Structure formats: structure tokens, C-alpha cells
Structure 1
Amino acid sequence: MNHTARHAGLALLRQHALIAGEPILANGAGIAVDDPATGEVIGHVPDLGAAETERAIAAAAEAFKTWSRSDPHERAAFLRKWAALIDDNVEGLGALMALENGKPFDEAKGEVTYANGFLKWFAGQAERLIGETQDSPLGHLILTYREAVGPCALITPWNFPAAMLTRKLGPAFAAGCTAVVKPASQTPFTAIALAELAYQAGLPKGALSIVTGDAATIGKVLTDSPLIRKLSFTGSTGVGRKLAEQCAPTLKRVSMELGGAAPLIVFADADLDLAIAETIKGKFRNSGQTCVCPNRVYVERSVAETYAEKLAAEVAKIVVGNAFEDRVKVGPLIEDKAIDKVEKHVAA
């Protein structure tokens, strides 16, 4: 057991939400967040509602007035400084994610590095927000330029609590947008820790809030608000459809990354050893809890039996356990509902 890493994660754990940088404490109540490997409660976040969400939206709208007009080079410098702070805290952020999500520590650290790549990329993009000019057939000169959309609502999932946050915040901040974030209740601490580092890097407090609480309540306030001009959501198709419907009356722009149904196909002329290695890599990542994990495998009949035997032998070698145990490659499922779903699949 890597106790040093675990302690590094706990050192970054903050039991509060953030409204324009102001901590809203849980005080041991609210929403309990557990380690899915053990069921141990590692902390709480407050169960916020409509009033707090409105405050966060108002702060984002006010901060947008100046942040959207700031020098793009300054926004780029902020993103690079934020990325540098994340680089300095990879171990702690990875451990914190492993604690609340359950994914193996090395896999969690890999996600932090992957997540930080978005900030580094969009730091460069902030310096290239250029428009275009072209002549029209009527002899007019057409000018186009880019401007920030406005305050954004960002709703992130539990399976990639760092990467899905930075992939949304990186371009938003580069463009000059402000944001209100609703992280998944299973994994809020990673988002809170990243936000604290963003403030430390110089982000105006009003430009970012992390609101924790009931997803339906907070989501409805975000979608109803005329001040929120864009919503980005990663999650299930059903919830995405509902959010898009709720955004329609205020004509918000929406970006939806919804559930997939990924098949994996193995033909008879395939390198079976490679096919099995790729099957395991794809299917068992984050305990099979990602939108790109194969949901089913189609194997050409002539090699199906051999493929199944080899796959079973390799799967039997996978070490399953707590995120901080040596050689563990697969952690727990996120919650009891996920276990029930798997058991139904097996029984079907």
C-alpha cells in the first residue's frame, strides 16, 4: 500500500464548494463522498441549491465583463501558470482522484498529465484568436473576428474528473469566457482542488465557481438562466437530451459528449495476441467505465474459440484491488448501481 501517495491526496482534499472563490463549507454534512474500494467516507461537500447557483451565475456574468476583454496573452500566461502548478501536484491530484474514483493510482496520475495537456494546448490557442478578411463578389470587404460567447455552464462526469474539467475550462478561459462548474457528486474533490490551483495561478475569483449538490436542481437553474450563454455536458444520452431541451428557450449554444455503444471487431486474419491486448486495454480501462470501452466484441467464427480462450487466460492475470496497492490494474466500480448493472448483464 502506497501510504505516502494516499496522504498526498488527502492533503489536497477540501470539503467545500466554491462560489466565486468563496469556500462554502460542508461542515461534515451534505453529500458524502466515499472511497469506492472500501466504502469509507473520505469527506463531504455541501448540498447547494438554486440560491447558491444563482450567486455563482451572477459572479460569472460580472467577471465576464473584464475577463472577456483581457489581453489574450495574459490569459495564455494564466493557463501556463495553472498548468505548471498542476505539474507540481501530479502525485497529490492523482492520489485524490484515486481516492474518490477508485482508478489505480498510476492510471489516475496519467489522467492528470493528460488533463494538463489541454491547458497547455489552449494556452497557445489563446494567442491565436485571429479573425479573417475576404472580398465579397459585390466588392465589399468582409471582416470576421472572434469573441467570447459568455458565461458557460460546464457539467462533468465522475469517470474522468480531471480531464473532462480541463478540456472544457481550457478553451473557455482561452476565449475569455467565465464558468460555473457542476462536478459529479461521486468525484467533486478533484475539481475543487484544480479550481484552487487556478485561483492560485491568478484567475479572477468570479471567473470560476464549483457548485456541488443535486444535479437536477443545479442543472435546471443553469439552463434556465439567460446569463448563461453556453452549456457543455459530458454524460448519458438521456440527460444530455433533457439539458438540450431546457437550453432551447434561451437559445444557448450546447456541446454534448454523450454515451456511446462501441463495438470491437476481430477478423480471422487478425493478430490474435495483439487483438487480445487491445481488447483488455480498451475494456478494462477505469474498470470498464468509460464511453469508449467496448460494449460488445464481435469475433469471426473461425477464430472465436481461440480468441475466447486466450482472452480468458489474460484476463485471469489482471490484478484487481485498491488503487494504492502494488501491481493493481483494475480498481472497483464507482458505486452500488454500477455493480447492479454488471450483475444484470452477467445474468442476462
Structure 2
Amino acid sequence: MTSDHGYPAVRMYIAGEWCHGGTGRTAPIVNPATEKVIGEVPLATIADLDRALDAATEGFRTWRDTPIARRSAILHAAADLITERAPEIGRIMAQEQGKPLKEGTTEALRTADTLRWHIEDARRAYGRIIPSAPGTLLTVRREPVGPVAAFVPWNFPVGGPNRKLSSALSAGCSIVIKASEETPGTAAALVACYADAGLSAGVLNLVFGEPAEVSAHLIPSPKIRLVAFTGSVPVGKLLAAKAGEVMKPTLMELGGHAPVIVCADADPVKAVRMAAQAKFFNAGQVCTSPSRFFVHESIVEEFTAEFVKVAQAVTVGDGLDADTTMGPLANERRLQTMERLVADAVSRGAKVLTGGERLERDGYFFAPTVLTDVPADADVMHEEPFGPLAPIVPFTDLDETLATANALPYGLAAYGFTESAATAEKLSNGLEAGILSVNHCGGSVSEAPSGGVKESGYGREGGPEALDAYLITKRVSHLLAG
């Protein structure tokens, strides 16, 4: 069922059924490119959450004992449906989140590949037999942790939820996932792929609601055995504290403020083409987005000129328009943050070489922005911008710049550009980050782990490590009769 806007009617999915909230509470869904309401998202009541918890408990008993070959077949079928429906999922995403249709469709296709990867990894989540005393069988088993409560943001409306779903379900866990109320249509379309693939009722439950209310109810529940969260550092700390009160394990993928170090021997034009593409991807609303550019003084002028050229060539518009290369920001809050960060930097002596303001049109559009002469005490150098701002700072000494890059409490992603193998190794060893790319700005990949250090979180998603949080390690010592 779709609305007059071609946007699907959104429902929650609890115990194998699509449903409204118990009291009919809803919140508006706004298209960020037009500022028009395109639908309503149902908000869960406590009774709805209790139904989801009960369903996940029963679903876990069923799913845990489902043979891995059967689990694999169902999840591969879900991956095939995601692939088949990727264009439609991308269209929904463009309407509610704003990213260009091509980006959204590609995100869905990558999501399907991630699911396939985790399925195959789960087939090889072996235990082991340990040589022990005669008459004793000593084994280590890997078993699913149990029902999971997951919380995901709006910036990757299909990729974000599926990183939790694919790992949890592949490992044999059930899950209650609270997706963003700003991008619920995409999450529902994703869940429909799992449901239509034959997933048993209760194994996967999708809810929306007031974030504080939902987390306060789900996290302490004894029915939940793991809390998985992607989002901001302040919210992550709050949720981790709630989980800590009941000694519940957590998986935290939090924000960052990724430094980019462009060394004297790097090609400035090539570096810009890599870095700027990553900077303006998803309008900079990516936790690994490059956000502090430290460029050697010998090449900073050429680097800056090229960055301005690339920024001005970006086509900002509605994600549904074929020519758009950067969509709107997600909401009015993001626009206000961009304006505040730019105003603060300018008040401290920074120069705006291009952009620096919202576009005069309907929608939450902000121009790709390049800042120079940015002082170290400017807010944009300390606060994750989560938008299309590129502050460029010259440097002379690499050791001092490494210290500056590492001075913030974040450590999610970092980037370096150099033609020297020795310098590349120095960057790899010196930058404090869980994800490091040299001579490119690589995103997440299914086959390798992603995650942060310091206040950017703990645990990993992607690669064989993705299943670790969702599996417990059990030692079994069996004294044989005889």
C-alpha cells in the first residue's frame, strides 16, 4: 500500500505481523528535499514493546535450533529479494532521507552482499576440541547469545539496520530493532525481504517509537541478551550505561571526526578527487566522513584550489533527480548545525572559499563548503560536523600533525595520502583509529571489520569479527563413562 506521494504506508512488524501502534500514536515523515509530509510512522507503546520482547524470546528458541543449512537458505533468499527490490528500496530512501537514487540503490545492493557474507561466515563459526586428560572430552562451543535489541540511525537507512540484522540472524539470534523514525519506510522494506523469504514469526521484530522510551524499556529487559547501537557518542554512552547497570554486553559503533593527512609527496589533485568524493557523499552525513584536512604547506594551495573546484561542481538537488550528486541534509537540525559551525569558524578568522550557507529553496539543502585559515579552537575542528564542511589546515611537521589528529577523544576513521611506503607505515602506526585508509577514502566492506577506538566505540561489524558480539563462547568438559 502506498500514499498519494508514491511513498509506502509504514507499519511495525511484530511476531510475524505488520501492525500499527497500540494507541495509534504517529509522527510525521518528512521529505527533506521538499519539507513536505509524505507519511506517518507508528510509535510503539510499552505493550507493543512487550509483544516484541515475547515474540523475540519465542523466535529465538525456534531460530537457534533451526539447522544452519535451513537458516542459510532463508537468509540467502532474503538477500536475493533485497537485490531484486534494490531500485524500489533506493526510491523510498531518496524520498525520506534525501540521498541520490543511485546511492540508495547501491547501498541496498551492498547490503545484500553483506548479508551473503555473514551467512557464509556463520556456517564456519566452529568450536574446537582441546586435547585433555584421558577419559575427558574438552570442547569449546560457539552459540548465539540470545535475543538482541538494536538501535540504528537515519543516515544509512538500509545499510545501518542490515549490519545488525545480518550478523544477528546469521549467528542464530532473534532481534528487536528500533529503526529511525525519520527513515522508517526503508527499514520496513528491508524487513519485508526477510519476512517474505520465510523467516519464522518472532525472529525479527521492527519497532519505532520515542527513542528514550524504547531504549529504557528494551535494554533492562531480562529477555534481551545483547544491545547493539550505531549513533552518536553521547547517546551511545547513555545506552551503554543503561546496559552496564544490568551487566549486559553491548556493541557500540559511535561517531568520529576523521582526520585526513596529505603529505608533501602526495599528488594534491588525486588526493582531492578521492577525499572530496568521500566528503560530499551522503552530504557528509557519514560517521567515517573525512572531516579535518591537514595538508602540507608545500601543496596546500593547489589542494585547496582543486577542492573548491570539485565542491562547486557538485550538483545539489532532490535525490530523485537524475542529475543530483548530493542530496539535502536530513532535517532542519543539521542545517542549523552547519550554520553554527561556519559562523563560529568565521568569527575566529576562518575564510569561506565556497558555500557556507543553506540554499535558497525548499528543502534542507546546504552548499558544499570549503573553509581555510581555520584556527585550532574553532568548533568545527573539535565537533563532528556530519555535513558537507571541509576545513583545510596547512602543516609543516608530520609528528606534530599526528599528535593534533589524535588529540580528540574520537578514533573511528582516519585517512592519509603519501607516495612513500615508509610514511604510509608511519601513518598506519601513528593514527589512532579503528579504520585507516591510505591513498584513498575507502568505505565499509563486507569482508573486513569496521569499528572505533576511544570514544568512537567498541566491537566490530563486518568480516569474521562481525559475529563475535552475537556469539557466546562456552567451555564444555565431559567426563566420559567407562
- Bigger mean CA offset, 65-74 vs 24-33: 24-33
1:221 pairs with 2:242: no
Amino acid at match of 2:125: L
| Alignment equivalent of 1:117, drawn from 108, 113, 118 | 113
* 1:329, distance to aligned residue in structure 2 (A): 0.7
1:336 pairs with 2:329: no
What's the TM-score once normalised by structure 2's chain length?
A: 0.68
The answer for the alignment partner of 1:209 in structure 2 is 205
1:297 pairs with 2:293: yes
Runs of 4+ in 1 over 3 A off after TM superposition: 7-12, 26-29, 136-141
The answer for the alignment partner of 1:179 in structure 2 is 175
Amino acid at match of 1:267: C
| Alignment equivalent of 1:16, drawn from 11, 16, 26 | 11
Compared CA separation, residues 91 and 8, structure 1 to 2 (3 A): farther
Structure whose residues are more often helix by fraction: 1
Contact 2:16 2:195 in 1 (8 A): yes
Q: Tell me the secondary structure at the aligned position of residue 144 of structure 2.
A: coil
Q: Tell me the secondary structure at the aligned position of residue 236 of structure 2.
A: helix
Structure whose residues are more often strand by fraction: 2
* 1:289, distance to aligned residue in structure 2 (A): 0.4
| Matches of 2:193 and 2:112, distance apart in 1 | 12
Contiguous gaps of at least 5 residues in structure 2: 345-482
* 1:56, distance to aligned residue in structure 2 (A): 0.3
Compared CA separation, residues 140 and 12, structure 1 to 2 (3 A): farther
* 1:67, distance to aligned residue in structure 2 (A): 1.2
RMSD: 2.0
Q: Tell me the secondary structure at the aligned position of residue 177 of structure 2.
A: strand
* 1:218, distance to aligned residue in structure 2 (A): 0.3
The answer for the alignment partner of 1:95 in structure 2 is 91
| Matches of 2:84 and 2:249, distance apart in 1 | 35
Compared CA separation, residues 11 and 326, structure 1 to 2 (3 A): closer
* 1:279, distance to aligned residue in structure 2 (A): 1.6
* 1:13, distance to aligned residue in structure 2 (A): 1.9
- Bigger mean CA offset, 22-31 vs 239-248: 22-31
Contact 1:29 1:44 in 2 (8 A): no
Q: Deviations over 1:272-324 (max 9, x none)?
A: 11111012111111000000111211111122122111211121111110001
* 1:139, distance to aligned residue in structure 2 (A): 8.8
* 1:138, distance to aligned residue in structure 2 (A): 9.1
| Matches of 2:86 and 2:302, distance apart in 1 | 41
* 1:198, distance to aligned residue in structure 2 (A): 0.9
* 1:333, distance to aligned residue in structure 2 (A): 0.3
| Matches of 2:8 and 2:185, distance apart in 1 | 6
Contact 2:24 2:43 in 1 (8 A): no
The answer for the alignment partner of 2:282 in structure 1 is 286
The answer for the alignment partner of 1:320 in structure 2 is 316
Contact 2:10 2:184 in 1 (8 A): no
| Matches of 1:336 and 1:36, distance apart in 2 | 8
Contact 2:3 2:39 in 1 (8 A): no
Q: Deviations over 1:245-272 (max 9, x none)?
A: 1112322221000011101111221111
1:69 pairs with 2:60: no
The answer for the alignment partner of 1:3 in structure 2 is none
| Matches of 1:60 and 1:255, distance apart in 2 | 19
* 1:22, distance to aligned residue in structure 2 (A): 2.1
| Alignment equivalent of 2:41, drawn from 41, 45, 53 | 45
Q: Deviations over 1:182-209 (max 9, x none)?
A: 0011111111111112111000121111
| Alignment equivalent of 2:192, drawn from 193, 196, 207 | 196
Q: Tell me the secondary structure at the aligned position of residue 241 of structure 1.
A: helix
Q: Tell me the secondary structure at the aligned position of residue 205 of structure 1.
A: coil
Q: Deviations over 1:97-128 (max 9, x none)?
A: 11111000001111001111111112212322
The answer for the alignment partner of 2:468 in structure 1 is none
| Matches of 1:302 and 1:130, distance apart in 2 | 53
Compared CA separation, residues 164 and 138, structure 1 to 2 (3 A): farther
The answer for the alignment partner of 1:157 in structure 2 is 153
Amino acid at match of 1:17: M
Contiguous gaps of at least 5 residues in structure 1: 1-6
* 1:12, distance to aligned residue in structure 2 (A): 7.1
* 1:162, distance to aligned residue in structure 2 (A): 0.8
Compared CA separation, residues 9 and 248, structure 1 to 2 (3 A): farther
- Bigger mean CA offset, 56-65 vs 246-255: 246-255
The answer for the alignment partner of 2:341 in structure 1 is 345
The answer for the alignment partner of 1:256 in structure 2 is 252
| Matches of 1:338 and 1:146, distance apart in 2 | 43
Q: Deviations over 1:207-266 (max 9, x none)?
A: 111111100000111111011000110001111111111112322221000011101111
The structure having more radius of gyration, on CA atoms, is: 2
Amino acid at match of 1:18: Y
Contact 1:57 1:227 in 2 (8 A): yes
The percent identity for this pair of structures is: 37
| Alignment equivalent of 1:241, drawn from 237, 244, 260 | 237
Contact 2:7 2:95 in 1 (8 A): no
| Matches of 1:155 and 1:121, distance apart in 2 | 22
Q: Tell me the secondary structure at the aligned position of residue 74 of structure 1.
A: helix
* 1:129, distance to aligned residue in structure 2 (A): 2.8
